[in-house]
Each structure stands twice: as structure tokens, then as C-alpha cells.
Amino acid sequence: MASRAASRTEERNPRTADIDIVPTEEVLRLLNAEDATVAGAVAQALPVLAEVVDKVVECVRAGGQVHYFGAGTSGRMAVLDAAEVVPTFGLDHGVFIAHHAGGDRALGTAMEDAEDDASLGADDASAVSAADVAVGITASGRTPYVAGALTTARLAGAVTVLVSSNPAAPLAGLADYVVVADTGPEAIAGSTRLKAATAQKLLLNALSTAAMVRLGRTFSNLMVSLSGTNAKLRHRQLTILMEATGADEAACRAQLTLCGGDLRLALLCLLSGLEPEAAAKALSAAEGSIRGALADQAGQSRPRFGH
């Protein structure tokens, strides 16, 4: 009982005490009301998360890696974010890496004992270096697997981060940055696949997205670094080019072909009038930022839009 009481995520929620005897729609309203509190809890964590984002940006720019570590639902949230950042932002595989206690098998089958193995976390973190950022994700803030991973990462000299829903997380001492979204007791006591997991999804999405924005992988709010790996995404590339430049579909399609399918390069060419080779050099000099490359070319801070 003392162990359960140590984390608010394990407490009983008085607002849902009658959830098993109310009509179905009321069950859903009770769950929805609890979900509605998550965004506010995440908002309280943003100042620390902003510092983490800046560290991630420094890490990626210097060629480092971002390692996520989690067990159960937390690990699945990590896998999802690390996988989706690749096609969304055209990031190379192996920059964001998710380590899930129990490996691939645990993604679809619960392996609860894996989270209790600190040595497994330590083994998974053995490749972490001083150039990297290690992010441990655990609703309770005490998962042994995450403890092993953060301990090993810290010994390697990496920047360490803890993402938790427990303000009194026991593992806080292992992290340089502690990101807490205090989501409180779950609608079903201890079921952290609910509010705590939703908070983790929001925090990891925000972390990776903000880092990609800072790394110049968006232009305005457009996904200009996405990979055209299927018909839907190739159509989206054309739509983005047309939206950002005002050019017609034929011109955008021709420019994208000329640039070998590189959306950022095609966009810079259309906005600046540069040929692909010169645009590639400008983009490299601006660390991948289209706005930066345009400002360098124009000698001013504001790029022109094609509307």
C-alpha cells in the first residue's frame, strides 16, 4: 500500500467512483472529463520541456542521437513518436531511437516483467554516448527498466531527461531535466494507459515537433521536409509547394523533379530563383533552414511568400 500511495497515478479517483453503475454514455462522459484535464497538466511542464528541446536541437545538430526508454504503454508511446518523426520531417533513421522494455515482441504483447529489469534498461542504454540525449518515460517515475537506462546514460555523459506524471518521481535524481505532467489519479485506478499515456503522447509529440521546427524542417507551419515515399505524400509535397509559392501544379511538379524529389530544395528554388546546386549550398549554409537561406540571399530577415 505504501508503494502504491507513493504515486498519484495509483490513487483512486473520487470523481469516477460510480463508473461501474452508470449508463454507458455517462461512463464515456466521465472518461472524457478526465481526459480534458490532461492539456492543462502538460502546459505546466512546458518551461522545462523547452529546455529539453533546446538540448535535443544541440544534440542533433552535432550529430548525436535522441534515445527514448520506456516500458509498457510508455514504451509504446516512445516507439510511435520515434517512428513517425522520420517520414513527417524527412529525418534519417537512427536519430530518434526508441527502446521498449522487452523489445519488438512487447509492442503487441504485454511483458510486464520486463519493466522490473534494471539490467535490461542498462543493456539497452549501452550504446548511448556523451553526444546523446536519453529520455526516460515512466508514469510512476520509478520503473526499474528506466532507472537502469538513465543510470547508464548518465555515466556515459549523456543529457538525461525524465518524463513522468508523478511530482515525487523517485528517479528524478537520475535526470538533468524532469518533465512532469501531473495528471493525477486515473479514471480507473492505476490504469496509466489513460491520462498519463495521453500526457506522454502530447509531451513527446511536442518535444520532437518543436525540435524539428527549430532545426528548420518546417517552413511556416508546412511540413517541407516530408519524404515522398507514397502517392499520398507525393501529392502532399505538390500541395505544399503550391501553397507556399503560389506557383501552379505543373511548375511545382517540374521543380520537384528537377530537385530529385527534395521538397525543401524545390521550395527554396521556387522562392529564390536559385538553381538546385546553388540552392543546396545556400540551404547547407543556413543549417537546413529555408527562412535562413532566403534571408541570406535577400540580405533581410523576412522571406517573401508567393501568395
Indicate which CATH number applies to the domain containing 191: 3.40.50.10490
pLDDT at 7: 79
- Residue 153's identity, in one-letter code, is A
Exposure on the CB side of residue 109, measured as CA atoms within 13 A = 6
Q: Which of 34, 115, 275, 287 is catalytic?
A: 115
Domain final residue pick, 161, 188, 214: 214
| 186 plus 268 within the same structural domain | no
Give how many domains the chain has, as a whole number.
2
Whether residues 125 and 272 share a domain: the answer is no
Q: Are 71 and 114 in contact (CB under 8 A)?
A: yes
Q: Is residue 135 part of a domain?
A: yes
Tens digit of pLDDT at every position of the chain (307 positions)? 344 445 789 999 999 999 999 999 999 999 999 999 999 999 999 999 999 999 999 999 999 999 999 999 999 999 999 999 998 998 999 999 999 998 877 677 766 677 878 999 999 999 999 999 999 999 999 999 999 999 999 999 999 999 999 999 999 999 999 999 999 999 999 999 999 999 999 999 999 999 999 999 999 999 999 888 889 999 999 999 999 999 999 999 999 999 999 999 999 999 999 999 999 999 999 988 999 999 998 774 444 444 3
pLDDT at 307: 34
Helices (H), the chain: 2-5, 24-35, 38-44, 46-61, 72-89, 105-108, 118-124, 144-155, 195-214, 231-245, 249-258, 263-272, 276-285, 290-298
pLDDT of residue 4: 43
Is 249 annotated as catalytic? no
Task: Report the pLDDT value the prediction gives residue 105, as an integer from 0 to 100.
Answer: 76
| pLDDT the model gives residue 107 | 75
Residue type at 59 in one-letter notation = C
> Does 257 lie in the same domain as 182?
no
| pLDDT (0 to 100) of residue 301 | 43
- Region of 246 (left: φ > 0; alpha: ψ -120 to 50; beta: rest) is left
- Say what the pTM is: 0.90
Report the pLDDT value the prediction gives residue 111, as an integer from 0 to 100: 67
Residue span of the structural domain in which 22 resides: 2-214
Asked if residue 276 and residue 134 are part of one domain, the reply reads: no
Q: Which of 25, 84, 249, 277 is catalytic?
A: 84
Output the pLDDT for position 1: 33
- Give ∠ CA 72-77-80 in degrees, rounded to 5: 125
- Out of 214, 246, 262, pick the residue that ends a domain: 214
Tell me whether residue 305 is in a domain.
Answer: no
Q: Does residue 265 fall inside a structural domain? A: yes
Residue 255 CA, chain-centre distance (Å), reads 31
61 and 179 assigned to the same domain: yes
What is the structure's pLDDT at 305? 42
Choose one of 214, 248, 277: the last residue of a domain. Answer: 214
Q: Is 84 a catalytic residue?
A: yes
* Burial class of residue 277, CB neighbours in 10 A (0-12, 13-18, 19+): exposed
For the domain that residue 266 is a member of, what is the CATH number? 1.10.8.1080
pLDDT number for residue 229: 84
**Range 21-29, long-range pairs (CB < 8 A, 24+ positions):** none
Measured CA to CA, the distance from residue 103 to residue 200 in angstroms comes to 19
Same domain, 204 and 235: no
Domain assignment present for 181: yes
- 173 and 60, same structural domain? yes
Q: Does 303 map to a domain?
A: no
Q: Which pLDDT belongs to residue 3?
A: 45
